[in-house]
Chain A
């Protein structure tokens, strides 16, 4: 195994289909029109020396090292900024060029430290490489002149020298090593789209400046790492590289954070990760990353990770460390005992959207075949289950329709109830890039999110009241139908016309007009009409949505309404359009695909189907129960009732992430056996009897499926610290329960999945290794996968329009609870924070804050930073207030990353009518000044401390 070296072509790939042929150093080269000479030379295997060029950003032509000579042309043009032309004859190495390049390098090195041996970039420095490439042997100017290198010069302070900026927890900025190539500035602009960096000053005074000469941490920098990756010297370097040294081998794997599914190279030294570098061939991220995937992997070896199995009789007891076998047999005896006492259906489990496809598949298999019931659900229940229902109903498949590349062909982007800049940052960067090229953006969100206004981005914002999504979607449809903007040809050809007519008549009713619904939604009718016209007539229209759509009592209705809009405007079935759910966790799509929902087997086939069940029964050699099982909220209700008494929870913190915490506490407390399988003693573990330590994504083989249905390999780069990969843990538990599952490698599990699931029929590890990744459906009809779905027609046959009547949620504001709370995420933290809170990301977000409008704050005597009490019908907590007009008057907002806040103490039991997906996004609350933690918080903290005590296993004599 060695370090994977990716070729840097120097300038981006041209998308032109017109080919151009030229001669470079005597070789004929044919490349697409618009390609630079530098890239064409690299294609031919000739590397022209360069410093300021890299293929992640546009050519800049500042370093003057990549000069070439072209026959018949005067001078020595820069090859990065000179496009190819038919018939050119180019020379990349001549006496004149050699002299020029050596002269350029001599100047660079005359103002650069010569500490190569002790430099962090030693072994990975392009400046060093270029000095070698041009044969620099001497610097005639000496090092005594004006410079940026030394703190003191001739006994005096050197005004040009700047100290290192170590403010960012993950990388350092050492200005003395900067050659002002501006690659970092351009990466920040072109790749990330944040524009946090600039070059301040002119000529010799030029410096890379975060913001207005601020520190990196104090600037707008979002720590995505694009600048560090772009830097050709040691100016911007990962602290881990400085500390450990250069990696010696690397393995391509998939990020375990959000649903974008970025491909990374895990760069290793032995079994130690040196750094994670985004992989340019990753088709989801195309070489970009965010602060979480790039830097926040320190949790994988955090001191709080639990590495030994633990058991206890009662949750009041301290944990007892035991060998694996003892933990398995203890858990198995308890679970089987419960089934004997309360019936076969009294136990169940939850598969994790953070684990691999293979691991979730095994858990649902254990439950269906081993437990003998269908009480299996997944955390997608509480995020995207309405997507599954809504898109299956209308299009016939429970997944997004496009790949992420599709955004490059989009003209109008509608983002609904999602904040990709925080929750799906790499997609946000790709989207912003397209917006800077001229695409239009419409944002439908109660908050003025980072997407609404950012450098070179100005969205048409429809700030709706939480809970009124359906009214807004139907009003958009009203405009499209009544103003004659329907793509009738598309609808007639692809959809059920009678159903369309019924729907069109419904949305055209005057009570669905933007003017009539404005009183509910708070959206300016003029803006809404403009948004509808833009989406329907502005070219390729694509809808991207998130949990602000699904986590409502009408979540499924909104998804259906979105699908209706896309069908009515013909925005389905080609690149640049579509309906795209942005999935929260890394493997939400995968866990749903793998049959984690209680009513369906892998591949979204209902459990009541005899033919499907027969197939699984034959291979698994058991009789399956044809009745659907309990969904997560039903499990809690049944636990309180006393008919659901044991649960196996794989990699999910239900206590912190599910709504109405007191109800979850009551349910967990009522159960006789709670098995938690996780990296850490999470909040759920406070109520657990068995703890099975989990393995991190670095410690196992498998696959994740991202939001674009892309199946990508997760590759093991180190031995599981807990001794077993998660799939082996599930097999161990199953075996103790008398259900044998025999696999020697996760690839065999994928083979079984492929054999049983028509949409996965063509998927195997060999295929994934060959193609890099593949989007399902992948089978005989589509051996290389399916980037865009529903191209010639909908999966279900005819697209189905469904009437979407607005029904107000029963969670209403009133005199006691006059404000509406909505919840969301922040860039640096992820989900319940179990991973990111155990990294240096806490420097950006150490606590959950309550965003409140200045008007509401003033009325309540709340100042910025004050402790406030947040109270709903379900419960109360305290946290600090942040006064901002990002939220409208009447709306407050917080994140749910920290267990000491427990935002879900506040959220209620209301849920989506179709799927029971909880209504996280609307809770009526009151805010009042407070002196500190609520009684509930104090009691919770005391219980948690008590519950986390561990008696270590006695050392063997």
Chain B
């Protein structure tokens, strides 16, 4: 899916959690994306991260990095 839209959505999630401080925000963002994004969206944002992750807010980038390490995604069926 278009990375621009996903970056926007991820940063929007980031804005909500960031008022709780870095230590709560990073797991909060990761958990939210894990719970609500479909695999193709996750794959696309991980791919964007691998490509440099331009445009992602720091907390969001950290959250997606940690999520990527802990989430084994099946390849597209």
The stretch that binds A, out of B35-43, B49-57, B62-70, is B35-43
In the complex, are the beta carbons of B40 and A345 less than 8 A apart?
yes
In the complex, are the beta carbons of B39 and A627 less than 8 A apart?
yes
In the complex, residue of chain B having the shortest beta-carbon distance to the beta carbon of A597: B36
Let me know if B22 is at the binding interface, CB within 8 A: no
In the complex, are the beta carbons of B35 and A629 less than 8 A apart?
no
Q: A803-B19, A805-B19 are in contact. Are A345 and B38 (CB under 8 A)?
A: yes
Q: A803-B20, A914-B13 are in contact. Are A641 and B35 (CB under 8 A)?
A: no
Looking at chain B's contact residues, the main secondary structure is: helix
In the complex, are the beta carbons of A606 and B35 less than 8 A apart?
yes
In angstroms, Cα B60 to Cα A913, docked, is 13
Q: Say which residue of A345, A553, A804, A916 sits within 8 Å of B77 (CB atoms).
A: A345
Q: A911: shortest Cβ distance to chain B, in Å?
A: 8
Central interface residue in A343, A345, A634, by most chain B CB within 10 Å? A634
Let me know if A628 is at the binding interface, CB within 8 A: yes
B41: chain A residues at CB < 8 Å are 630, 634
In the complex, are the beta carbons of A629 and B38 less than 8 A apart?
yes
Let me know if A638 is at the binding interface, CB within 8 A: yes
Q: A30: shortest Cβ distance to chain B, in Å?
A: 57
Q: Say which residue of A506, A557, A630, A641 sits within 8 Å of B38 (CB atoms).
A: A630
Let me know if B48 is at the binding interface, CB within 8 A: no
In the complex, are the beta carbons of B76 and A637 less than 8 A apart?
no
Question: Would you list which residues of chain B between 19 and 47 have a CB under 8 Å from chain A?
Answer: 19-20, 32, 35-41
In the complex, are the beta carbons of A628 and B36 less than 8 A apart?
yes
In the complex, residue of chain A having the shortest beta-carbon distance to the beta carbon of B18: A805
Q: Say which residue of A506, A606, A629, A637 sits within 8 Å of B19 (CB atoms).
A: A506
In the complex, are the beta carbons of B12 and A913 less than 8 A apart?
yes
The tally of CB-CB contacts under 8 A between chains A and B is: 66
Q: A638-B1, A641-B2 are in contact. Are A345 and B39 (CB under 8 A)?
A: yes
In the complex, are the beta carbons of A637 and B36 less than 8 A apart?
no
Q: A803-B19, A803-B20, A913-B15 are in contact. Are A628 and B1 (CB under 8 A)?
A: no
In the complex, residue of chain B having the shortest beta-carbon distance to the beta carbon of A912: B12
In angstroms, Cα B40 to Cα A561, docked, is 32
Chain A contact residue count (CB 8 A cutoff): 33
Let me know if A47 is at the binding interface, CB within 8 A: no
A629: chain B residues at CB < 8 Å are 38
In the complex, residue of chain B having the shortest beta-carbon distance to the beta carbon of A607: B35
Question: Would you list which residues of chain A between 17 and 35 have a CB under 8 Å from chain B?
Answer: none
B13: chain A residues at CB < 8 Å are 913-914
In the complex, are the beta carbons of B37 and A641 less than 8 A apart?
no
In the complex, are the beta carbons of A637 and B1 less than 8 A apart?
yes
In the complex, are the beta carbons of B16 and A557 less than 8 A apart?
yes
Chain B contact residue count (CB 8 A cutoff): 22
Q: A459: shortest Cβ distance to chain B, in Å?
A: 31
In the complex, are the beta carbons of B35 and A608 less than 8 A apart?
yes
In the complex, are the beta carbons of B40 and A807 less than 8 A apart?
no
Q: B31: shortest Cβ distance to chain A, in Å?
A: 11
In the complex, residue of chain A having the shortest beta-carbon distance to the beta carbon of B76: A343
Question: Would you list which residues of chain A between 582 and 607 have a CB under 8 Å from chain B?
Answer: 598-599, 606
Let me know if A643 is at the binding interface, CB within 8 A: yes
B32: chain A residues at CB < 8 Å are 914
Let me know if A375 is at the binding interface, CB within 8 A: yes
Q: Mark A893-918, 1 if CB is under 8 A from B, else 0.
A: 00000000000000001000111100
In angstroms, Cα B40 to Cα A630, docked, is 9
In angstroms, Cα B13 to Cα A557, docked, is 11
Let me know if A344 is at the binding interface, CB within 8 A: yes
Q: A638-B1, A641-B1 are in contact. Are A343 and B77 (CB under 8 A)?
A: yes
Q: Say which residue of B5, B35, B39, B73 sits within 8 Å of A637 (CB atoms).
A: B5
Central interface residue in B1, B15, B38, by most chain A CB within 10 Å? B38
In the complex, are the beta carbons of B77 and A344 less than 8 A apart?
yes
In angstroms, Cα B36 to Cα A606, docked, is 10
Q: B60: shortest Cβ distance to chain A, in Å?
A: 12
In angstroms, Cα B39 to Cα A375, docked, is 11
B40: chain A residues at CB < 8 Å are 345, 630, 638, 643
In the complex, are the beta carbons of A807 and B77 less than 8 A apart?
no
A606: chain B residues at CB < 8 Å are 35
In the complex, are the beta carbons of A628 and B37 less than 8 A apart?
yes
A805: chain B residues at CB < 8 Å are 15-16, 19
Question: Would you list which residues of chain A between 630 and 645 have a CB under 8 Å from chain B?
Answer: 630-631, 634, 637-638, 641, 643
Q: Mark A117-154, 1 if CB is under 8 A from B, else 0.
A: 00000000000000000000000000000000000000
Q: A175: shortest Cβ distance to chain B, in Å?
A: 61
A913: chain B residues at CB < 8 Å are 9, 12-13, 15-16
In angstroms, Cα B35 to Cα A634, docked, is 15
In the complex, are the beta carbons of B38 and A807 less than 8 A apart?
no
Q: A343-B76, A343-B77, A345-B76 are in contact. Are A628 and B38 (CB under 8 A)?
A: yes
In angstroms, Cα B49 to Cα A347, docked, is 27
A506: chain B residues at CB < 8 Å are 19
Q: B15: shortest Cβ distance to chain A, in Å?
A: 5
In the complex, are the beta carbons of B35 and A628 less than 8 A apart?
yes
Q: A462: shortest Cβ distance to chain B, in Å?
A: 24
B77: chain A residues at CB < 8 Å are 343-345
In angstroms, Cα B16 to Cα A556, docked, is 10
In angstroms, Cα B76 to Cα A915, docked, is 24
In the complex, are the beta carbons of B35 and A599 less than 8 A apart?
yes
In the complex, residue of chain B having the shortest beta-carbon distance to the beta carbon of A916: B9
In angstroms, Cα B77 to Cα A343, docked, is 5
A556: chain B residues at CB < 8 Å are 16
Q: A374: shortest Cβ distance to chain B, in Å?
A: 8
A807: chain B residues at CB < 8 Å are 15-16
In angstroms, Cα B35 to Cα A631, docked, is 12
In the complex, are the beta carbons of B16 and A375 less than 8 A apart?
no
In angstroms, Cα B9 to Cα A344, docked, is 25
In angstroms, Cα B38 to Cα A598, docked, is 9
Question: Would you list which residues of chain A between 884 and 943 have a CB under 8 Å from chain B?
Answer: 909, 913-916
Q: Mark A609-647, 1 if CB is under 8 A from B, else 0.
A: 000000000000000000111110010011001010000
In angstroms, Cα B73 to Cα A374, docked, is 15
In the complex, residue of chain A having the shortest beta-carbon distance to the beta carbon of B32: A914
Q: Mark A788-807, 1 if CB is under 8 A from B, else 0.
A: 00000000000000111101
Q: B61: shortest Cβ distance to chain A, in Å?
A: 17
Q: B71: shortest Cβ distance to chain A, in Å?
A: 9
In the complex, residue of chain B having the shortest beta-carbon distance to the beta carbon of A637: B1
B76: chain A residues at CB < 8 Å are 343, 345
In the complex, are the beta carbons of A637 and B2 less than 8 A apart?
yes
Question: Would you list which residues of chain A between 751 and 804 have a CB under 8 Å from chain B?
Answer: 802-804
In angstroms, Cα B20 to Cα A557, docked, is 13
In angstroms, Cα B45 to Cα A637, docked, is 14
Q: A343-B76, A345-B77, A641-B2 are in contact. Are A914 and B16 (CB under 8 A)?
A: yes
In the complex, residue of chain B having the shortest beta-carbon distance to the beta carbon of A627: B39
A627: chain B residues at CB < 8 Å are 38-39, 73-74
In the complex, residue of chain A having the shortest beta-carbon distance to the beta carbon of B42: A627
A599: chain B residues at CB < 8 Å are 35-36
Q: Mark A541-558, 1 if CB is under 8 A from B, else 0.
A: 000000000000100110
Central interface residue in A628, A641, A913, by most chain B CB within 10 Å? A913
Q: A629: shortest Cβ distance to chain B, in Å?
A: 5
Q: A345-B76, A345-B77, A557-B16 are in contact. Are A634 and B38 (CB under 8 A)?
A: yes
B74: chain A residues at CB < 8 Å are 627
Question: Would you list which residues of chain A between 544 and 580 have a CB under 8 Å from chain B?
Answer: 553, 556-557
4 closest residue pairs by CB, A with B? A805-B19, A913-B12, A344-B77, A630-B38
User: Could you show 24 A-B contacts with beta carbons less than 8 Å apart?
Assistant: A343-B77, A345-B40, A345-B76, A345-B77, A375-B38, A553-B12, A557-B16, A599-B35, A608-B35, A627-B38, A628-B36, A628-B38, A629-B38, A630-B38, A630-B41, A631-B36, A638-B1, A803-B19, A805-B19, A807-B15, A909-B5, A913-B12, A914-B36, A915-B36
Known: A631-B36, A805-B19. 10 other contacts (CB 8 A): A345-B39, A599-B35, A627-B39, A628-B35, A634-B41, A638-B1, A805-B15, A913-B9, A913-B13, A913-B15
Give B residues with C-beta under 8 Å from A. 1-2, 5, 9, 12-13, 15-16, 19-20, 32, 35-41, 73-74, 76-77
